Chain A
Amino acid sequence: MSRAAASVLWGVLGVLAVMVAWELYKFLGPADGFVVGAVDGETGSGVMILPRTNDRAMPHLWEMGARLFQSTSGGSTPPLIVPVVTAALTTLGIAAVGWLIGVAVGVILGVVMQRYRLAEWGLLPWIVVSQTVPLIAFAPLLASIGSQIDRGGFPWPQWLSVAVIASYLAFFPVAVGVLRGLETPDRIHLDLMRSYASGYWSTLFRLRFPAAVPHLLPALRLAAASAVLGAVVAEVSIGMRGGIGRMLIQLAGQASSDPAAPWGPTFGSIALGLVAAGSVALLGLGLKNYRRGEATA
């Protein structure tokens, strides 16, 4: 069996294992969960160590599957799977824009920090700190700035705010990865370039970037995951219409009376993450000549 077929097989087996585990736990587990340390007559006391398995908490897989093909919001609305796919594609597009911005900014920062030691000292701590700012504090602020710019006459659609927030998460691994990657060439290789009278730019493009690829690819994969995450959270946070994050929040409100519904967009966002990571893997195929010694991530 070829390696590709084997990896597909393992992937399918993994998904099947999760599905079996879900139904098995739902069958065996306690309907109302298992709580330790509960005080009698005191609601909500104790710690739940086994989650509930009732149909609200854990709908059957076939119910979630069937729900995908039932009307979204009753009336004449299309089956749930249609808006799930549309919303996932919308978010994927925004995350892709965010990823591109993030990668561009990350590469520029990485190059600048590698070139000027002072820039590294000055910027790197801030780049690290930037990732500790909570998105939910930051997103509405950015949305507000966006709408001010929009009012000022320069069109700034809401999705652009979401893309910028996605890029804010995505640039970090790239900046750090590029910085480390550009610093990997051995002294002896740099000296060889110098003996050829090669300048900074040609050394950068002929030696440093090719050498950085094994660091860059995992960074791009992390950036893709961060961009998707950032886009979903930012959508929820600034209330953008049309994406999967928004859909998750809306359907979560119906989790009591229609428990299978919120799982539709949940599956949608899982698929979204897989597609995003898969796209970066394709990118890696084109760069495979440079991927010697890459750690798998």
Chain B
Amino acid sequence: MRHSIRRGLKVASVATVAAIALAGCSTPAPSDTSSDFTPLTSIKLQLQWLPQAQFAGYYVALDQGYFEEEGFDTVDIVPSGGDIVPQDALVAGDVDFAIAWVPKVLGTLEATGAELTDIAQVYQKSGTLQVSFADKGVPTVADFEGKRIGSWGFGNEWEIFAAMAAEGLDASTVSITTQDFSMNALLDGDVDAAQAMTYNEWAQILEVVNPATGKLYQPEDFDVVSYEDTDGAMLQDAIWADTARLADDPAYADAAVRFLKAVTKGWIFARDNPEEAATITYDAAINAEAAFPVGPVHQLWQMNEVNKLIWTGSKFGIVDKAAWDKTVKGALSAVNQDGVSLITAEPAASAYSNEYIEKALAALEAEGVDVSGAYTPIDVVLTEGGQ
């Protein structure tokens, strides 16, 4: 028996040493502080959801060779749609850049003490809606009190609470129900008003046949609260980078600018050729990604709506200070139904920076590219199931 105790101790000590050695391996090598560096040629981008036209700019940049033009040999676009949280993957160093909503990242930064920087604000406007059947009587945020409100949770709910706080409403009076990925909660009457993105779930509702008419549901069958029109509007899809790496690793800072150049070109292509960009994304999703996106018509609708959120007349990707401050104000004031706040203090000044996107845009403008052009919406007629 003593024999086996000694053996056990030996095993334990070997395991401990191995664990320490492994931990040692994972500490990053000291960064190169000299000004010359080897440019990064391979990067990973973490999306926050499944491959779809919401991320068309990145798939277009890949398809059209924009990343190669900026000196990247491989760009790995990693979809989420599971429990992978983009900002966590970025903090852990699994990826180089991540797409995530601003309020969600602000919450993570305050909760974990990590430092990330919003280097490009792709979506200038909020695309979140709260949709209810017209007979439910929820046409405005003021009507939320006492109602059953659907949300996906996981940080998607803060616009609801920020909008309610701005109206002086008590969040504890609403019951928040977690929605699944379909819109059945709304259609079956499990919630009074369901959360929907203009570019995805709103279209999914309008792709369902209304049993009363035998035709697809029409927008006038519903009341729609657009958070963009409320004080609760928050900034959404942004490109995030690791703050410390930007400061210490010149190769990374350089890659950030080149990456943004390629991405900007991708989104400009999507602005000027929405049909083609939607097709490229749909093809990438069904082939390279082995994903199962909603059909081509749905992707075109999404492309159209996403372009409206991106091209608001100002330059692509610039973080608008007013919109940022509004997001922070909303995040500070929002209290959820359990009395918990998203953040309690202003985020660090490093939480956003226009330095990299401005460099990228200046380079593109020097090449004669119009980086602020307006988007002309197209007409998309939805079909049943979006196919």
Chain B residues with CB under 8 A of A246:
81-82, 291
B287–chain A nearest beta-carbon distance, Å? 9
With A83-B292, A237-B82, A241-B289 as contacts: A56 and B180 at CB distance below 8 Å: no
Chain A residues at the B interface, C-beta cutoff of 8 Å: 32, 42-44, 52, 54, 56-57, 71-75, 77, 83, 116-119, 122, 136, 139-140, 143-144, 147-148, 151-152, 235-239, 241-242, 246-247, 249-258
A241–chain B nearest beta-carbon distance, Å? 5
Chain B residues with CB under 8 A of A57:
184, 188
Partner of A241, one of B4, B190, B290: B290
Chain B residues at the A interface, C-beta cutoff of 8 Å: 1, 4-5, 8, 25-26, 50, 78-85, 88-89, 92-94, 136, 147-148, 175, 177, 180-184, 187-192, 204-205, 207-208, 282, 285-286, 289-297, 384-387
Partner of A140, one of B25, B84, B208: B84
Complexed CA–CA distance, A251 and B4 (Å): 54
A73-B292, A242-B290 known, 18 other contacts, Cβ within 8 Å: A44-B175, A44-B177, A44-B191, A73-B285, A74-B295, A75-B286, A75-B296, A117-B1, A118-B1, A140-B82, A143-B84, A144-B89, A144-B94, A147-B94, A238-B82, A247-B292, A252-B180, A254-B386
The 11 sampled A-B contact pairs (Cβ below 8 Å) are: A32-B188, A43-B147, A44-B148, A73-B292, A73-B293, A73-B295, A83-B290, A118-B4, A246-B81, A254-B386, A255-B180
Partner of B286, one of A77, A140, A258: A77
Chain A residues with CB under 8 A of B192:
43
Complexed CA–CA distance, A257 and B83 (Å): 25
Partner of B385, one of A32, A151, A237, A257: A257
A43 touches B191 (CB 8 A): yes
With A43-B147, A43-B148, A251-B292 as contacts: A144 and B92 at CB distance below 8 Å: yes
A249 touches B286 (CB 8 A): no
A249 touches B386 (CB 8 A): no
Partner of B181, one of A136, A139, A237, A249: A249
Chain B residues with CB under 8 A of A43:
136, 147-148, 189-192
Chain B residues with CB under 8 A of A116:
4, 8
| Residue from B79, B81, B85 having most chain A Cβ neighbours under 10 A | B81
With A250-B50, A254-B294, A256-B208 as contacts: A122 and B188 at CB distance below 8 Å: no
| Residue from A42, A72, A143, A257 having most chain B Cβ neighbours under 10 A | A257
A134–chain B nearest beta-carbon distance, Å? 10
- A-B CB proximity, top 5 nearest: A74-B295, A74-B387, A255-B182, A239-B82, A253-B181
With A252-B180, A256-B187 as contacts: A74 and B297 at CB distance below 8 Å: yes
Complexed CA–CA distance, A247 and B292 (Å): 7
Complexed CA–CA distance, A258 and B204 (Å): 9
B8 touches A122 (CB 8 A): yes
B83–chain A nearest beta-carbon distance, Å? 5
Closest to B181 in A: A253
Chain B residues with CB under 8 A of A239:
78-84
B94 touches A256 (CB 8 A): no
B8 touches A44 (CB 8 A): no
A52 touches B296 (CB 8 A): no
Chain A residues with CB under 8 A of B204:
253-254, 256-257
Complexed CA–CA distance, A82 and B89 (Å): 32
